Structure 1
Amino acid sequence: MIRPLILAAALTAGVASASEDIADKYPGSMLYDKPVEIVPGVFSAIGATAPPTYENSGHNNNLSFIVTGDGVVVINGGAAYGLARALHDEIRQITDQPVKLVFNENGQGHAVLGNSYWAEQGVPIVAHEDAARVVEETGGTILEGMKRYNVDKAEGTRIQIPTETFSDEHIVEMGDFRIEARYLGPAHSPGDIVIWLPRQSLVIAGDMAFHERMLPIFPDTDTAAWIETWDSEFEALNATYVIPGHGHPTNMDQVRRYTRDYLIYLRARIGEHLDAGGDLSDAYYVDQSPYRHLDTFEELATKNAGRVYEQMEFE
């Protein structure tokens, strides 16, 4: 369990330490690290703040679960069948309560490829309708990408579409918890949802929020809409605790600084570049030095700049 002093430090720190060079923290498991208790009943296995690799088994996002007193709710299917099974092994060490529900935070591989394991256990899998559509339309491609890096660790993984979908919210009262799965609006990728626990003032934010690693901007990421969703919906939660999609638990100030403020900063730099008549080839190199310390900066900064340029050119 995270002791209050440690949790307080994580919530108030300028930037929690994270490095792509840190070796696997839990070599006896496919999990990158062992689950920790964030607040009573809410656990998360914090993934590597790095691209998915064979060494981290694709566990480069946070796999969370809630021990409600009347069953367990899992957030994210995991990047492979074996990774989902490894998470279930850890859950069984913590509680004898059965897993009753799985949420997919979006349609990306690390959220959905482990669905096949959970489906074998007879567990319902819930996702936003847009995320389910992504899995249905591109699941084969996502699976092949995972097999390339995970090789034998991909064994048993097949595409399993979420068994239930929703458009706005899916609310569950289970044991001591009110669990609100909410679609707040366009953000990082189609069908991004957050899991809001109002009694705990805790949000499992998924890819709505980043802070230790640079956020990736995909071809279908609408950065202007992401900022609008943040300002109109995500801030309104006024969460005390934030479990982001990647990286350690933190607070709203930190994820605001490295998500919303980064998007605004990058759009401002690209806007200046466009106003000066700059082209795409130079847009890749606009100044992003205030964010150079973030993990995955080298992999993502230039791509992000290019994609924002392509968006803003026609706004």
Structure 2
Amino acid sequence: MSFEFQKVTNQVYAYIGPLTNRTPENLGLNNNIGLVITTKGAVLIDSGAGIPSAKTLEAAVKKITDKPIVGVINTGSQDHRWLGNGYFKDKGAKIYALNHTVETQQDMGAGLVEKMTKVSDIFANTQPVVSSKPFEGNQATFTIGETQFELKYFGDAHFPGDAVLWLPKQKVLFSGDLIYVDRMLGVHPFSNVASWQQAFHKAESIPAKYIIAGHGQVADWDLARKDTGDYLDKLVKVMALASEEMMGVDDVVADNADWPEFKHLKHYDSWHKKILSRTFLQFEEAM
């Protein structure tokens, strides 16, 4: 398959990964990755699922610019967001992340490498490497070259510690896994759907012209609401009421198996019921 960055706006590019699951062919790059060209050098937004995907991203960057990769900014803790950090750090890049994100990376790193090794043994030599000086608090503003970046944490979402990256001058939001378009959200047992919904609505205050979601095409707020915000809103509303009424999980899933407004999303048929079940159990446990 082809690994290419597409232009979003001036000096900002995005690799749009396939909507499929991880495979040896896609090197775990079934997510979106950002690229910003600064006066100092190239900056990657997330670094891939390990050394093989990091090398592939590096080659794709070289098709856009001759500048070195001087920075990697992590928006999250899922494997394909950061397990390429070590490769770029060894080449001199600085790793940027919020401490919220780094704490989860440290907790999950070894398990994520093991998971990627099951996708392909080419990931076996990957070592989890986190930012050595993560930013404390919920927000950090910094510059690389003459480009201003703002990392923001609005609440736990797909993974604990998920963050977004805002480029105020370019009006570009790299949402990480706070926003998905074109495909279903990934809800794990450790995801926090109630917090995710709140975080999404907090992020809506950002006046983004371009949204590079965690997965799917480059979007705007209308599409982000349609594919992520509306689904989160319905999940929270339905599951909060069902847990208050002490319904059983099987009945809740059966009653809500058909949400036609979301059937256009990739993986709806295989993931929707699982998401319903996991979300209900979260609300039931919180009662």
Does the alignment reach a TM-score above 0.5? yes
Partner of 2:25: 55
Partner of 2:194: 224
Deviation sequence 1:62-90 (CA, Å, 0-9, x none): 11110012211111110121111111112
> What is the alpha-carbon distance in structure 2 between the residues aligned to residue 187 and residue 267 of structure 1?
13
> What is the alpha-carbon distance in structure 2 between the residues aligned to residue 254 and residue 288 of structure 1?
17
Is the 1:82–1:155 Cα contact (8 Å) retained in structure 2? Answer: no
Identify which of 155, 173, 195 aligns with 2:165: 195
- Superposed displacement of residue 274, structure 1: 4.3
Instruction: Mark the CA change 1:118 to 1:244 in structure 2 (over 3 Å): closer, same or farther.
Output: same
Partner of 1:290: 261
- Superposed displacement of residue 59, structure 1: 0.7
Deviation sequence 1:188-243 (CA, Å, 0-9, x none): 22111111011111101111111111011222222222222222x21111211101
> What is the alpha-carbon distance in structure 2 between the residues aligned to residue 134 and residue 109 of structure 1?
11
For the residue of structure 2 that corresponds to 1:83, the secondary structure is helix
State yes or no: 1:255 paired with 2:224.
yes
Deviation sequence 1:223-275 (CA, Å, 0-9, x none): 222222222x2111121110101111010111111111101112333345446
> What is the alpha-carbon distance in structure 2 between the residues aligned to residue 196 and residue 276 of structure 1?
40
Is the 2:101–2:163 Cα contact (8 Å) retained in structure 1? Answer: no
Partner of 2:116: 146
Deviation sequence 1:130-181 (CA, Å, 0-9, x none): 32122222211110100111233x2542221222212222322234421112
State yes or no: 1:35 paired with 2:20.
no
> What is the alpha-carbon distance in structure 2 between the residues aligned to residue 310 and residue 253 of structure 1?
30
1:163-312 residue pairs with structure 2 within 5 A? 163-166=132-135, 167-231=137-201, 233-271=202-240, 273-274=242-243, 277-285=246-254, 286=256, 287-312=258-283
Is the 1:223–1:263 Cα contact (8 Å) retained in structure 2? Answer: yes
Letter in 1 for 2:8: I
Instruction: Mark the CA change 1:85 to 1:260 in structure 2 (over 3 Å): closer, same or farther.
Output: same
For the residue of structure 2 that corresponds to 1:239, the secondary structure is coil
Query: After the TM superposition, which of the residue ranges 272-281 and 194-203 deviates more from structure 2?
Result: 272-281
- Superposed displacement of residue 55, structure 1: 2.4
> What is the alpha-carbon distance in structure 1 between the residues aligned to residue 50 and residue 181 of structure 2?
25
TM-score (norm 2): 0.92
State yes or no: 1:133 paired with 2:133.
no
Partner of 1:7: none
Q: Which runs of 5+ in 2 are unaligned?
A: none
> What is the alpha-carbon distance in structure 1 between the residues aligned to residue 18 and residue 272 of structure 2?
19
RMSD: 1.8
Partner of 1:117: 87
Is the 2:48–2:81 Cα contact (8 Å) retained in structure 1? Answer: yes
For the residue of structure 2 that corresponds to 1:116, the secondary structure is helix
Letter in 1 for 2:180: F
- Identity of matched residues, %: 29
Is the 1:178–1:199 Cα contact (8 Å) retained in structure 2? Answer: yes
